[in-house]
Amino acid sequence: MSSLEQALALIAASNAQSISVAVHDLHSGERVELRARESMHAASTMKLAVLLAAYRLRVELDRPVRVENCFTGIADGSPFAVDPKEDDDAWPYMQLGREVLVVITRGLEKKDEAADAGPGGVADRLAVA
């Protein structure tokens, strides 16, 4: 087991939540995967993809968007939906089929998100109005 694999295993073992990681060191060519093939809820990672897509499509950010829970997978085109039982926030599921205004905020929505907020405890977030 390489030092990178050991470091990732320690991080995973010390984290109460399930995590998966895929790392490719461009200098050495080493590739390490830790549960990288397991299906997991993307959580905040999706916010970046949504913002990038909105930017590329020149979406008017002051217009409401329809809330849906059925998406087409990028890799194979298969349908994907988030199971509400696996999400601790019921609010989006109550908005399914409705149009809401998405706003970009800076700050923490919940105190328990401080761990993934990065240095200084502040992270960019998407919120819905």
Mean pLDDT of 92-106: 78
- From CA 40, how far away is CA 87, in angstroms rounded? 11
Enter the DSSP assignment of 85: G
Residue whose token pair is 């993307």: 42
Nearest to 125, CA basis, from 20, 112, 110: 110
Residue 27 pLDDT exceeds 60 = yes
94-110 burial, b if ≥16 CB within 10 A, otherwise e? eeeeeeeebeeeeeeee
* Whether residue 66 has pLDDT greater than 80: yes
pTM as predicted: 0.42
Tell me the average pLDDT of the chain: 74
Q: Stretch 58-71: mean pLDDT, rounded?
A: 84
Whole-number pLDDT of residue 41: 66
Residue 96 pLDDT level (bands cut at 50, 70, 90): very high
Burial of 8 (0-12, 13-18, 19+ CB in 10 A): buried
CB 17 within 8 A of CB 38: no
Q: Mean of the pLDDT values across residues 11-28?
A: 80
User: Does the pLDDT value for residue 90 go beyond 80?
Assistant: yes
Mean pLDDT, residues 65-73: 87
Half-sphere exposure of 53 (CA within 13 A, CB side): 6
> Is the pLDDT assigned to residue 60 strictly greater than 90?
no
